[in-house]
Chain A
């Protein structure tokens, strides 16, 4: 059987960063959720969740920083990408309900390397990540020195971020794993590649740019 043609979406580096970050995030969620849901709180006794939460926090804070240090250019590009909103993005917003519910692919304008939904997820993380980090650090290191109101509102802000992030995280997982239209997306974060068809269907703009880029360079 002839192999389906595949295109690379994420480098090894990107995938490692992604999964380590995911691990940190899930660790934080799991060890954090004990403080949110009282009836499982008993599991959290004797502070082990606090220790793990702190380790997770270091990873969670550390990965983006590391990424910045290792791949400063692509990090900046990623941020630029997330902040750059064109007409396709507004088109995406308009088309999203039909697209995701009814599979109306025609309504969806062609998307770049990341679609607008992913941009939103990224932006949210850009927002909540620092909130987590700053309030986390305040609560971690400055609880005895700053007024307790700072801690109290830090908990609040940490929680707001938590709720928003977790809800969006559900969406993220759902779209990555379960949504019928997205059946190919998961592999992009495992082996880094998607099929040509998938790329064309979901990231048409990106696929075309990529195809153009590859030709002059002689390709493989």
Chain B
């Protein structure tokens, strides 16, 4: 989230798309209700009428997988309205705080010119040469601008051209949304473009779980930037995260492509620390840009100091060579393919249940059989840990050695978790764990102590120092406070805890396990455990003294965009920050960088985390910097592509699918075509259950509320197929089939697109074969196909057929 949960209450319009907070983030609805009580509007766009939609002022149905078309249409609406009525929009924000005025390489061509493709596409590699995705720069390397936004090569004009095709009629034809509903959404949300007004976009996995999911997110950013809704109270692009610490797990880089704090992993070619830093540190010559990420070397070296302590010296590149290097894609789908192919022999599963949660579950489960060993650490028996006794397999045929390690529950141990608002919150031990179950921290610690002992005794082991020299001084029972302090970091000269990452150094004199969390545990104490409800000075719900928010306790990121170039808030009623000229300091939230307002001599552009210092409506590909600085894989603007499995031809271009998605050709990878599978299927969660189900399908109270797997379909489709409510039905895709009870409902309606009727059905994906409540897993149906940038699977839109069982 750019903003935070409480801030939703400040919004004039809450736009929920690709999410369903009433069911998956119910606490959000406390704040949404407040926004509505203040007169705010609630818009919900969703393929089905969800419990969130039930509370909406405006609900618009949209066929799964057509998000970019929908948002693109809104962008067109806003641009057209902006040109007609500029007084209704914050043009200063657009011109000064975004790259709308930046001139782009004239060689750049977009989908409007190239039938859905951007310049530089290489079909054989399914990737782009991004050299034309660049700015025109002057002799100092600073991009050229046209502040009138009229140069045909300026970002604004390119944006306008990109979305000129996305007319309301085209949106309706593509998304199946009735035109009047679409325009109602446009009008309601465009109203937040006025200075002092704010609209927020609240989304979740309905946005991301598409082959172009990253570009859907980008489309939200473009829309919000046009409406000047980033950085302000009640605005932002807010991802509602689905697990209590999925934010923290991401921050701490339990992902193949990252190191803690969103530092990029070393690639094969990063032979030295210097090479790595040169490649991943963004360089920018515009003096008004803070380009904060140029501090990256300080963060990486401090992390290495935390990991390797005295063994990390300038002479050995601070232990950089201890880190593994890799350039391949090791993401989730790749991982299970590698397992299926026998490359992966051992798997550790920590509080996760991929046999239910991963796509193409039949393949996932089959892949597990190839393992030599599997360790599952959990509170429960899971489908993953028990794959060898799943229905229709003979355990004797499966030679995998399996461990089920009992872990303590959240309230049976002490530590911190980071919520969607980026708040790291400390929680305490309130009860005892059952039997010999113990905290994961102890399990990890105990295991690593044993591993280190084995390597201490084996001088011939490869790259042994990486293990033996790793600092691991947590004793027999690791103290979470000690670990939290290591994450926060120390000034190694004084032994004092760091106050913030601003003081980290690249010379090895500071340590910090994760720069983003620097400041969370200081000499003043454990900031994450704070419980002070003081909301001064502006009383806009920042609660700056409650827990601790990364970065540096900033509650709303990009908050320098909430003020005009002189530091005065656009919305004086809900200021995030405000420049106190007399005191020469910012009041309110922790400002993005301590610099004075932009208009001042020493002032900086507001978006300190981009190299440019302004927000990107056009995602240029910069030569250096972290992943995103190098541009998106699949274009500079979000462009609509159909889901991998779609019942229609792309109405917006001749390019059917995202051209950069990786296509898999394993023996269990199947694609269904619309002749055999004409119905769109989507999967989702319901409030009564959680994720892969082990945390709720074992709880009698949760099971009582939602006892069985079910499949939701429209009355129209049910009539067509002769299905009555409560009938057992079979849903089949190219990958598998599930049988479950039919729930015939008015909440799904057929989409009428240009005369063609497209049916969509949906089902929750919580069930599996282990637990108090069992049932077929929806992910038996889902395809192994991922987003072009992140490889997140396309769970939300695929093709199926349905019949009475």
A/B: CB atoms within 8 Å of each other: no
